[in-house]
Structure 1
Amino acid sequence: MLDLHRLRLLRELKHRGTLTAVAEALSYSPSSISQQLSVLEKEVGVPLLEPVGRRVRLTEQAEILVAHTEAVLEQLERAEAELAASMSGLTGVIRVATFQTAALALFPDALTLLREEHPRLRVQVTQTEPETALPALLARDFDLVISEEYPGNPNPRYAEIEQEDLCEDEIRLALPRRLGETLAGTDLADLAALADHPWVMEPAGGEPRQWAMALCRNAGFEPDVRFESSDLLLHARLVEEGHAVALLPDLVWSGGPPAEGVVLRSLPSDQRRRRLTTAVRRGGGRHPAVRACREALRRTAGTSEAGAGANQPGADI
């Protein structure tokens, strides 16, 4: 009989990449992880790891074991969900990962709803970007992740993850007021009128930056990105002070309308909205804590979406 604990260590290695990362995540020493995997190799009678430089990778037989381990863990997720559903009252801990604008616009009200309706449920929220959070969900660091998908740039689909739509969020061109007034009669459909102006964008490598760069390049120019930050409140401030042009989602303004120094203009219809989703490990969507959290977020998103749309000035392009 194969040992599930050792199989989970092998699975952790697949998702985290190194023995050191597995050891840090599980509070073991790397040598202890290595010893346990050596025992597993003896149990199955075939090599499970092969060296690649200073790292190791899983053999074909190890990948087979990991696939079956995923199936076992999915079934255990379902068992845990059924057990929780059989109990009166919602208790325990749910660990949620979200990115900045969703954290600011959705979570305060969602947490209020959860506190009122499920006072014994402990909700732990971590702000991190989806490209980091989704692999961490697979590694069981989180129970639920809020993710985003930009127009024409679909996210990778993981077979082990269940996703559910949360809401859509319109993205608009944010201009300093003086520039917005200067370009008031200009057709900005291709954004080319902004080719000579400085931009603020999110750091290179992430989906928001890839989408924004593609949008500008499709309009025929390479944007002058002078400022990089994952903090969209800083983006808004730089626009307000006249230092940059930005592409900002409506959720940035959930606390109130844009400042007087900011003019918003709509993007072309096929590039206007990003899609927000909630993601859980396959089998975990039935857990009462996950269902309660998703419901609170849906209710909050409905309110935020309606409020955000009502506050936006600027003509459609």
Structure 2
Amino acid sequence: MLDVRRLRLLRDLAHLGTIAAVAQAHAYTPSAVSQQLAALQREAGVPLLEHTGRTVRLTPAGTALAQHTETVLAALEAATATLAAAQAELSGTVHIGAFPSAVRTLLPPALVALGRDHPGLDLMVTELDPVAVPDALRDRRLDVALLHDYDIVPIAPDPALDSTPLLDETVFLAVPDDGVHLDPAGDPISAARNAAWIVGTPGTLCHTVAERVCHTAGFLPRVRHHADDFTAVLALVAAGQGVALVPQLGAIQPPPGVRLRPLAAHRRTRIAYRRGAADHPAIAACVSALRASTSAFLPS
């Protein structure tokens, strides 16, 4: 019989690429991870790993087993959901992850509704960039989370996760009132070719989106400031420090001195959870509360 905990380590090795990364994700030592994978290989009876110098990679059999592991883990999530549904009321801890603009706008009313309707739930929120959400869900540091991508920077689905759409937002170019001249009939991004830019921290999705939008318009942005909170971004724009891309949630009640020009780009937000967990009552309750708060905050 194959050990599920060891299968999870193999799956994570396929995703993360190194023993050290798997060890860090699980708070193990690299030696402990290697020992567990060696034990899994003995259980399987076929080679699962190939060693080349100091690197290790999965054999074809190891890759196939890692893919099967996603199905096994999803079945366990579904079984857990079935047992939870048999309980009289919802209880336990739910770890919720969201990006800053959602934490400030959509999440508070959802938390209020969840606390009112399901007082047995202990709700814990973590603010994080969407690029970190898949790993956090996979490692069980989160149970449900908001993640997003942009139509100009689509993200491939993660085989370990399921999700449901929540929100599709317009993206704006925010400019200072006395700054970039925007021809109403022209392309706002091209008009900002020579402007200073305020973009997200390198490695964040917002940073990637800004670079992609400018590259598509035929130039590289001249970055003056890095900021990840849209309230701070808009304050910098209002101070004449540059232009920035801001999605609809981040552009609620902009400060005086800021003009917003809608772009063709859209940010797409989804509610994500581990594959197989959609029918878990706590997950379903979170999805329902988030949809209700989103509809109230941004009515269509």
- Letter of the 2:289 partner, please give it: A
TM-score (norm 2): 0.91
Alignment of 1:124-143 (within 5 A): 124-143=124-143
- Letter of the 1:62 partner, please give it: G
Partner of 2:145: 145
Partner of 1:315: none
User: Equivalent of 1:263, from 224, 240, 259?
Assistant: 259
Partner of 1:108: 108
Alignment of 1:1-317 (within 5 A): 1-179=1-179, 183=181, 187-254=185-252, 257-267=253-263, 270-271=264-265, 273-306=266-299
Cα deviation code 1:223-279 (max 9, x no counterpart): 21211232322211110111111111121244xx21112122222xx32x2111111
TM-score (norm 1): 0.86
Extract structure 1 runs of 4+ deviating beyond 6 A.
none
Alpha-carbon contact 2:182-2:191 (below 8 Å) kept:
no
Cα deviation code 1:151-174 (max 9, x no counterpart): 233211223321211012222111
- Letter of the 1:237 partner, please give it: A
Distance 1:95 1:68 in 2: 26
- 1:215 to 1:28, Cα distance in 2 relative to 1, 3 A: closer
- Letter of the 1:49 partner, please give it: L
- 1:213 to 1:39, Cα distance in 2 relative to 1, 3 A: closer
Distance 2:153 2:121 in 1: 35
Identity, % of aligned pairs? Answer: 39
Distance 1:27 1:218 in 2: 41
What SS does the corresponding residue of 1:102 show, helix, strand or coil? helix
Structure 1 residue 190: Cα displacement? 4.7
- Letter of the 1:258 partner, please give it: P
Distance 1:241 1:85 in 2: 53
- Letter of the 2:288 partner, please give it: E
Distance 1:14 1:166 in 2: 30
Structure 1 residue 185: Cα displacement? 5.6
- Letter of the 1:56 partner, please give it: V
RMSD: 2.2
Alpha-carbon contact 1:15-1:135 (below 8 Å) kept:
no
Distance 1:299 1:124 in 2: 19
What SS does the corresponding residue of 2:298 show, helix, strand or coil? helix
Distance 1:7 1:191 in 2: 48
Distance 1:199 1:121 in 2: 43
- Letter of the 2:256 partner, please give it: E
Distance 1:230 1:106 in 2: 18
What SS does the corresponding residue of 2:152 show, helix, strand or coil? coil
Structure 1 residue 24: Cα displacement? 3.6
Structure 1 residue 52: Cα displacement? 4.1
Structure 1 residue 96: Cα displacement? 2.1
Cα deviation code 1:195-216 (max 9, x no counterpart): 2211101134443333322322
Distance 2:25 2:193 in 1: 45
Distance 2:34 2:159 in 1: 28
What SS does the corresponding residue of 1:290 show, helix, strand or coil? helix
Distance 1:98 1:39 in 2: 37
Cα deviation code 1:168-187 (max 9, x no counterpart): 2222111112226xx36654
Alpha-carbon contact 1:16-1:139 (below 8 Å) kept:
no
Q: Which runs of 5 or more residues in structure 1 are unaligned?
A: 310-317
